[in-house]
Structure 1
Protein backbone atom coordinates (compact mmCIF):
# COMPACT_ATOMS: atom_id res chain seq x y z
CA UNK A 1 0.00 0.00 0.00
CA UNK A 2 1.28 3.49 -0.86
CA UNK A 3 1.56 6.54 1.35
CA UNK A 4 -1.74 7.87 2.64
CA UNK A 5 -2.31 11.59 2.99
CA UNK A 6 -5.26 13.01 4.88
CA UNK A 7 -7.41 16.06 4.30
CA UNK A 8 -9.53 17.55 7.09
CA UNK A 9 -12.71 19.20 5.91
CA UNK A 10 -16.46 19.36 6.46
CA UNK A 11 -19.11 16.77 5.61
CA UNK A 12 -20.48 19.22 2.99
CA UNK A 13 -17.14 19.38 1.22
CA UNK A 14 -16.79 15.59 1.44
CA UNK A 15 -20.09 15.27 -0.45
CA UNK A 16 -18.78 17.63 -3.16
CA UNK A 17 -15.54 15.67 -3.46
CA UNK A 18 -17.39 12.37 -3.81
CA UNK A 19 -20.05 13.57 -6.24
CA UNK A 20 -17.67 15.65 -8.36
CA UNK A 21 -14.75 13.21 -8.11
CA UNK A 22 -12.35 16.14 -7.73
CA UNK A 23 -10.50 18.18 -5.15
CA UNK A 24 -10.75 21.93 -5.00
CA UNK A 25 -7.67 24.06 -4.42
CA UNK A 26 -7.88 27.46 -2.72
CA UNK A 27 -6.47 30.66 -4.21
CA UNK A 28 -3.45 31.76 -2.22
CA UNK A 29 -4.92 35.22 -1.72
CA UNK A 30 -7.88 33.65 0.11
CA UNK A 31 -5.78 31.89 2.74
CA UNK A 32 -5.92 33.19 6.28
CA UNK A 33 -2.25 32.30 6.89
CA UNK A 34 -0.06 34.58 4.76
CA UNK A 35 3.06 32.57 5.65
CA UNK A 36 1.79 29.81 3.35
CA UNK A 37 2.10 32.18 0.39
CA UNK A 38 5.64 33.13 1.42
CA UNK A 39 6.48 29.44 1.76
CA UNK A 40 5.15 28.84 -1.75
CA UNK A 41 7.31 31.64 -3.19
CA UNK A 42 10.36 30.13 -1.47
CA UNK A 43 9.55 26.73 -3.03
CA UNK A 44 9.34 28.42 -6.45
CA UNK A 45 12.74 30.06 -5.88
CA UNK A 46 14.25 26.72 -4.89
CA UNK A 47 12.90 25.06 -8.07
CA UNK A 48 14.33 27.82 -10.26
CA UNK A 49 17.74 27.48 -8.63
CA UNK A 50 17.59 23.68 -8.91
CA UNK A 51 16.71 23.95 -12.62
CA UNK A 52 19.61 26.33 -13.23
CA UNK A 53 22.07 24.05 -11.45
CA UNK A 54 20.84 20.92 -13.25
CA UNK A 55 21.07 22.67 -16.61
CA UNK A 56 24.41 24.42 -16.00
CA UNK A 57 22.89 27.87 -16.36
CA UNK A 58 25.49 30.33 -15.13
CA UNK A 59 23.68 33.61 -15.77
CA UNK A 60 20.69 32.75 -13.61
CA UNK A 61 17.41 34.42 -12.84
CA UNK A 62 17.45 36.85 -9.92
CA UNK A 63 15.01 34.98 -7.67
CA UNK A 64 14.83 37.97 -5.31
CA UNK A 65 12.69 39.64 -7.98
CA UNK A 66 9.90 37.23 -7.02
CA UNK A 67 9.57 39.08 -3.72
CA UNK A 68 8.60 42.24 -5.63
CA UNK A 69 5.72 40.65 -7.54
CA UNK A 70 2.44 39.38 -6.17
CA UNK A 71 1.08 36.18 -7.69
CA UNK A 72 -1.68 35.12 -5.29
CA UNK A 73 -4.40 35.31 -7.97
CA UNK A 74 -2.58 32.63 -9.99
CA UNK A 75 -1.41 30.28 -7.23
CA UNK A 76 -3.48 27.64 -5.51
CA UNK A 77 -3.02 25.49 -2.44
CA UNK A 78 -4.53 22.48 -0.72
CA UNK A 79 -3.46 21.05 2.62
CA UNK A 80 -2.86 17.45 3.57
CA UNK A 81 -1.25 15.74 6.52
CA UNK A 82 0.24 12.31 7.17
CA UNK A 83 -1.66 12.15 10.47
CA UNK A 84 -5.21 10.89 10.06
CA UNK A 85 -6.21 11.36 13.69
CA UNK A 86 -4.69 14.51 15.09
CA UNK A 87 -6.49 16.38 17.86
CA UNK A 88 -4.89 19.64 16.74
CA UNK A 89 -6.53 19.28 13.33
CA UNK A 90 -9.89 18.22 14.78
CA UNK A 91 -9.84 21.30 17.00
CA UNK A 92 -8.52 23.67 14.33
CA UNK A 93 -10.35 26.61 12.90
CA UNK A 94 -10.32 24.96 9.46
CA UNK A 95 -13.45 22.91 9.98
CA UNK A 96 -16.66 23.11 11.97
CA UNK A 97 -16.30 20.63 14.82
CA UNK A 98 -19.87 19.41 14.36
CA UNK A 99 -19.34 18.45 10.71
CA UNK A 100 -15.62 17.63 10.60
CA UNK A 101 -14.35 14.65 8.61
CA UNK A 102 -10.91 13.37 7.71
CA UNK A 103 -10.46 11.84 4.26
CA UNK A 104 -7.54 9.56 3.43
CA UNK A 105 -6.09 9.44 -0.08
CA UNK A 106 -3.46 7.16 -1.58
CA UNK A 107 -0.91 9.78 -2.57
CA UNK A 108 0.26 8.02 -5.74
CA UNK A 109 -3.34 7.54 -6.95
CA UNK A 110 -4.32 11.19 -6.51
CA UNK A 111 -1.17 13.12 -7.37
CA UNK A 112 0.85 12.63 -10.53
CA UNK A 113 4.07 14.32 -11.62
CA UNK A 114 2.20 17.56 -12.37
CA UNK A 115 2.01 18.28 -8.63
CA UNK A 116 4.79 19.37 -6.34
CA UNK A 117 4.19 18.03 -2.87
CA UNK A 118 6.27 19.58 -0.14
CA UNK A 119 6.27 19.26 3.57
CA UNK A 120 5.44 22.50 5.34
CA UNK A 121 6.70 22.72 8.90
CA UNK A 122 5.67 25.59 11.14
Structure 2
Protein backbone atom coordinates (compact mmCIF):
# COMPACT_ATOMS: atom_id res chain seq x y z
CA UNK A 1 0.00 0.00 0.00
CA UNK A 2 1.24 3.49 -0.84
CA UNK A 3 1.11 5.90 2.10
CA UNK A 4 1.93 9.60 2.32
CA UNK A 5 3.40 11.75 5.06
CA UNK A 6 2.45 15.43 4.94
CA UNK A 7 4.81 17.88 6.57
CA UNK A 8 6.31 21.34 6.10
CA UNK A 9 9.83 22.20 4.94
CA UNK A 10 11.23 22.09 8.48
CA UNK A 11 9.76 18.62 8.87
CA UNK A 12 11.16 17.50 5.52
CA UNK A 13 14.60 18.83 6.45
CA UNK A 14 14.58 16.96 9.76
CA UNK A 15 13.36 13.70 8.23
CA UNK A 16 15.93 13.70 5.43
CA UNK A 17 18.92 14.99 7.39
CA UNK A 18 18.39 12.53 10.24
CA UNK A 19 16.77 9.60 8.37
CA UNK A 20 14.05 9.48 10.98
CA UNK A 21 10.46 10.29 11.93
CA UNK A 22 9.10 11.81 15.11
CA UNK A 23 6.45 9.69 16.81
CA UNK A 24 4.14 11.88 18.92
CA UNK A 25 2.57 10.79 22.20
CA UNK A 26 -1.12 10.00 21.64
CA UNK A 27 -2.25 12.33 24.41
CA UNK A 28 -0.81 15.28 22.49
CA UNK A 29 -2.33 14.65 19.04
CA UNK A 30 -4.96 16.87 17.38
CA UNK A 31 -7.69 14.66 18.87
CA UNK A 32 -6.88 14.50 22.57
CA UNK A 33 -9.55 11.83 23.14
CA UNK A 34 -8.28 9.30 20.58
CA UNK A 35 -7.37 6.47 22.91
CA UNK A 36 -10.44 7.05 25.06
CA UNK A 37 -12.54 6.78 21.91
CA UNK A 38 -10.98 3.42 21.06
CA UNK A 39 -11.44 2.12 24.58
CA UNK A 40 -15.07 3.21 24.64
CA UNK A 41 -15.82 1.50 21.32
CA UNK A 42 -14.23 -1.77 22.41
CA UNK A 43 -15.74 -1.90 25.90
CA UNK A 44 -19.21 -0.98 24.58
CA UNK A 45 -19.04 -3.77 22.02
CA UNK A 46 -18.47 -6.45 24.68
CA UNK A 47 -22.16 -6.33 25.63
CA UNK A 48 -23.01 -7.58 22.14
CA UNK A 49 -20.57 -10.50 22.11
CA UNK A 50 -22.17 -12.64 24.81
CA UNK A 51 -23.30 -15.21 22.26
CA UNK A 52 -19.81 -15.56 20.81
CA UNK A 53 -17.57 -15.40 23.89
CA UNK A 54 -17.85 -16.80 27.39
CA UNK A 55 -18.40 -14.49 30.33
CA UNK A 56 -14.88 -15.26 31.50
CA UNK A 57 -13.39 -14.32 28.12
CA UNK A 58 -15.27 -11.03 28.04
CA UNK A 59 -14.12 -10.27 31.59
CA UNK A 60 -10.49 -10.84 30.56
CA UNK A 61 -10.89 -8.37 27.70
CA UNK A 62 -12.64 -5.80 29.90
CA UNK A 63 -9.96 -6.12 32.59
CA UNK A 64 -7.24 -5.78 29.96
CA UNK A 65 -8.82 -2.57 28.67
CA UNK A 66 -8.92 -1.16 32.21
CA UNK A 67 -5.25 -1.97 32.79
CA UNK A 68 -4.35 -0.49 29.40
CA UNK A 69 -6.09 2.76 30.32
CA UNK A 70 -4.47 2.94 33.76
CA UNK A 71 -0.91 1.86 32.99
CA UNK A 72 -0.12 1.93 29.27
CA UNK A 73 -2.21 4.44 27.34
CA UNK A 74 -0.08 7.44 28.31
CA UNK A 75 3.00 5.80 26.82
CA UNK A 76 1.82 5.16 23.25
CA UNK A 77 3.25 7.08 20.29
CA UNK A 78 2.12 7.59 16.71
CA UNK A 79 3.53 8.43 13.27
CA UNK A 80 0.71 9.54 10.98
CA UNK A 81 0.37 8.96 7.26
CA UNK A 82 -2.42 9.41 4.75
CA UNK A 83 -3.70 7.10 2.01
CA UNK A 84 -4.29 10.08 -0.32
CA UNK A 85 -1.36 11.80 -2.04
CA UNK A 86 -3.08 15.12 -2.75
CA UNK A 87 -5.61 15.92 -0.04
CA UNK A 88 -6.84 19.50 0.18
CA UNK A 89 -7.45 19.40 3.94
CA UNK A 90 -3.82 18.42 4.49
CA UNK A 91 -2.50 21.30 2.39
CA UNK A 92 -4.80 23.70 4.21
CA UNK A 93 -3.29 22.59 7.49
CA UNK A 94 0.02 24.15 6.52
CA UNK A 95 -1.34 27.47 5.20
CA UNK A 96 1.55 29.88 4.80
CA UNK A 97 4.01 27.15 5.86
CA UNK A 98 5.11 25.32 2.74
CA UNK A 99 3.66 21.81 2.70
CA UNK A 100 5.14 18.73 1.08
CA UNK A 101 3.97 15.13 0.83
CA UNK A 102 6.40 12.20 1.08
CA UNK A 103 5.48 8.91 -0.60
CA UNK A 104 6.36 5.48 0.81
CA UNK A 105 5.30 1.85 0.46
CA UNK A 106 3.86 0.88 3.84
CA UNK A 107 5.47 -2.52 4.43
CA UNK A 108 8.82 -1.42 3.05
CA UNK A 109 8.84 1.64 5.30
CA UNK A 110 7.87 -0.36 8.38
CA UNK A 111 10.69 -2.84 7.75
CA UNK A 112 13.19 -0.02 7.20
CA UNK A 113 12.65 1.55 10.64
CA UNK A 114 14.53 0.60 13.78
CA UNK A 115 12.18 0.05 16.71
CA UNK A 116 14.91 -0.58 19.25
CA UNK A 117 13.45 -1.36 22.69
CA UNK A 118 9.94 -0.67 21.40
CA UNK A 119 6.88 -2.66 20.40
CA UNK A 120 5.40 -1.51 17.10
CA UNK A 121 2.46 -2.16 14.79
CA UNK A 122 1.04 -0.44 11.71
CA UNK A 123 -2.35 -0.28 10.02
CA UNK A 124 -5.26 1.75 8.74
CA UNK A 125 -7.35 3.81 11.14
CA UNK A 126 -10.94 2.69 11.80
CA UNK A 127 -13.41 5.60 11.93
CA UNK A 128 -16.51 5.16 14.10
CA UNK A 129 -19.04 6.98 16.24
CA UNK A 130 -18.34 6.74 19.98
CA UNK A 131 -21.39 4.54 20.58
CA UNK A 132 -20.96 2.41 17.45
CA UNK A 133 -19.97 -1.21 18.05
CA UNK A 134 -19.97 -3.25 14.77
CA UNK A 135 -16.38 -2.44 13.77
CA UNK A 136 -15.09 -3.03 17.30
CA UNK A 137 -16.97 -6.34 17.47
CA UNK A 138 -15.38 -7.43 14.21
CA UNK A 139 -11.95 -6.43 15.46
CA UNK A 140 -12.37 -8.50 18.64
CA UNK A 141 -13.76 -11.51 16.82
CA UNK A 142 -11.11 -11.46 14.10
CA UNK A 143 -8.31 -11.23 16.65
CA UNK A 144 -9.40 -14.01 19.00
CA UNK A 145 -10.58 -16.33 16.22
CA UNK A 146 -7.18 -16.32 14.55
CA UNK A 147 -6.10 -19.94 14.30
CA UNK A 148 -2.77 -19.48 16.10
CA UNK A 149 -4.24 -17.50 18.99
CA UNK A 150 -7.31 -19.74 19.36
CA UNK A 151 -5.07 -22.82 19.56
CA UNK A 152 -2.81 -21.33 22.22
CA UNK A 153 -5.82 -20.34 24.33
CA UNK A 154 -7.36 -23.80 23.92
CA UNK A 155 -4.10 -25.45 25.02
CA UNK A 156 -3.58 -23.15 28.01
CA UNK A 157 -6.33 -20.78 29.23
CA UNK A 158 -3.67 -18.51 30.77
CA UNK A 159 -2.90 -17.37 27.22
CA UNK A 160 -6.31 -15.72 27.13
CA UNK A 161 -5.12 -13.17 29.71
CA UNK A 162 -1.91 -12.55 27.75
CA UNK A 163 -3.70 -12.07 24.44
CA UNK A 164 -6.41 -9.89 25.96
CA UNK A 165 -3.66 -7.48 27.01
CA UNK A 166 -2.07 -7.82 23.58
CA UNK A 167 -5.38 -7.00 21.92
CA UNK A 168 -5.82 -3.86 24.02
CA UNK A 169 -2.42 -2.56 22.91
CA UNK A 170 -2.80 -3.49 19.25
CA UNK A 171 -6.43 -2.53 18.60
CA UNK A 172 -7.20 0.53 20.71
CA UNK A 173 -4.85 2.99 18.94
CA UNK A 174 -6.48 2.38 15.56
CA UNK A 175 -9.96 3.69 16.42
CA UNK A 176 -10.75 7.33 15.76
CA UNK A 177 -13.86 9.51 15.77
CA UNK A 178 -15.68 9.46 12.43
CA UNK A 179 -15.46 13.27 12.14
CA UNK A 180 -11.80 12.77 11.18
CA UNK A 181 -12.56 10.25 8.41
CA UNK A 182 -11.46 12.60 5.62
CA UNK A 183 -7.89 12.18 6.86
CA UNK A 184 -7.78 8.57 5.56
CA UNK A 185 -5.09 7.90 8.11
CA UNK A 186 -2.58 5.09 8.22
CA UNK A 187 -0.44 4.98 11.33
CA UNK A 188 2.59 3.38 12.87
CA UNK A 189 2.06 2.90 16.61
CA UNK A 190 5.04 2.59 18.95
CA UNK A 191 5.19 1.61 22.62
CA UNK A 192 8.56 1.90 24.41
CA UNK A 193 9.36 -1.11 26.56
CA UNK A 194 10.98 1.21 29.11
CA UNK A 195 8.35 3.94 29.14
CA UNK A 196 10.48 7.04 29.66
CA UNK A 197 13.68 5.93 27.98
CA UNK A 198 14.62 7.98 24.91
CA UNK A 199 11.57 10.22 25.20
CA UNK A 200 12.26 13.73 23.93
CA UNK A 201 10.17 16.88 24.27
CA UNK A 202 9.54 19.64 21.74
CA UNK A 203 7.72 22.94 22.12
CA UNK A 204 4.74 24.10 20.07
CA UNK A 205 1.92 26.62 20.49
CA UNK A 206 0.13 24.31 22.94
CA UNK A 207 3.04 23.55 25.25
CA UNK A 208 5.52 20.69 25.67
CA UNK A 209 4.99 17.69 23.38
CA UNK A 210 6.62 14.29 24.17
CA UNK A 211 7.90 12.33 21.19
CA UNK A 212 10.27 9.55 20.12
CA UNK A 213 12.81 9.63 17.31
CA UNK A 214 12.30 6.56 15.13
CA UNK A 215 15.34 6.20 12.91
CA UNK A 216 15.81 4.24 9.70
CA UNK A 217 18.27 1.35 9.73
CA UNK A 218 20.02 2.95 6.75
CA UNK A 219 18.05 5.28 4.47
CA UNK A 220 14.31 5.82 4.35
CA UNK A 221 12.70 4.13 1.30
CA UNK A 222 11.38 7.42 -0.06
CA UNK A 223 9.57 7.10 -3.41
CA UNK A 224 8.70 10.70 -4.28
CA UNK A 225 8.01 14.19 -2.97
CA UNK A 226 4.89 16.14 -3.88
CA UNK A 227 5.06 19.91 -3.41
CA UNK A 228 1.99 21.69 -2.12
CA UNK A 229 0.70 25.08 -3.25
CA UNK A 230 3.62 27.51 -3.46
CA UNK A 231 4.67 30.79 -5.05
CA UNK A 232 7.73 29.55 -6.95
CA UNK A 233 7.61 25.91 -8.07
CA UNK A 234 11.03 25.96 -9.71
CA UNK A 235 12.81 27.40 -6.67
CA UNK A 236 10.99 25.02 -4.33
CA UNK A 237 11.92 22.00 -6.45
CA UNK A 238 15.57 23.01 -6.74
CA UNK A 239 15.89 23.46 -2.99
CA UNK A 240 14.26 20.12 -2.21
CA UNK A 241 16.37 18.26 -4.77
CA UNK A 242 19.53 19.85 -3.37
CA UNK A 243 18.58 18.65 0.12
CA UNK A 244 17.73 15.14 -1.08
CA UNK A 245 20.84 14.64 -3.16
CA UNK A 246 23.17 16.08 -0.52
CA UNK A 247 21.90 13.44 1.92
CA UNK A 248 22.12 10.48 -0.46
CA UNK A 249 18.52 10.43 -1.68
CA UNK A 250 19.14 10.35 -5.42
CA UNK A 251 16.65 9.91 -8.27
CA UNK A 252 13.69 10.95 -6.11
CA UNK A 253 11.08 12.57 -8.37
CA UNK A 254 9.27 15.75 -7.37
CA UNK A 255 5.78 16.65 -8.56
CA UNK A 256 3.22 19.35 -7.80
CA UNK A 257 -0.22 19.31 -6.27
CA UNK A 258 -3.15 19.49 -8.64
CA UNK A 259 -5.17 21.28 -5.97
CA UNK A 260 -5.94 24.91 -6.95
CA UNK A 261 -5.33 26.21 -3.45
CA UNK A 262 -3.22 29.31 -2.78
CA UNK A 263 -2.73 28.92 0.95
Q: Would the TM-score normalized by the shorter structure come out above 0.5?
A: yes
Whichever structure has more strand as a proportion of its residues is: 2
Matched-pair contact (CA < 8 Å) for 1:10–1:100: yes
Higher relative contact order (CA 8 A, sep 6+): 1
Q: Give the count of matched residue pairs.
A: 108
Change (3 A) 1:68 1:119: closer
Report the counterpart of residue 20 of structure 2 in structure 1.
22
Shift of 1:44: 8.7
Report the counterpart of residue 74 of structure 1 in structure 2.
75
Q: 2:125 aligns with which of 99, 119, 122?
A: 119
Report the counterpart of residue 4 of structure 1 in structure 2.
2
Which segments of 5 or more consecutive residues in structure 1 lack a partner in the other structure? 46-56
Q: Distance in 1 between matches of 2:110 and 2:8?
A: 22
Which segments of 5 or more consecutive residues in structure 2 lack a partner in the other structure? 44-55, 112-118, 128-177, 179-263
2:125 alignment partner, SS class: coil
Q: Distance in 2 between matches of 1:8 and 1:43?
A: 28
Matched-pair contact (CA < 8 Å) for 1:27–1:72: no
Tell whether 2:66 aligns with 1:60: no
- In the superposition, the TM-score normalised over structure 1's length comes to 0.68
The higher radius of gyration belongs to: 2
Matched-pair contact (CA < 8 Å) for 2:39–2:65: no
Q: CA RMSD in A?
A: 3.2
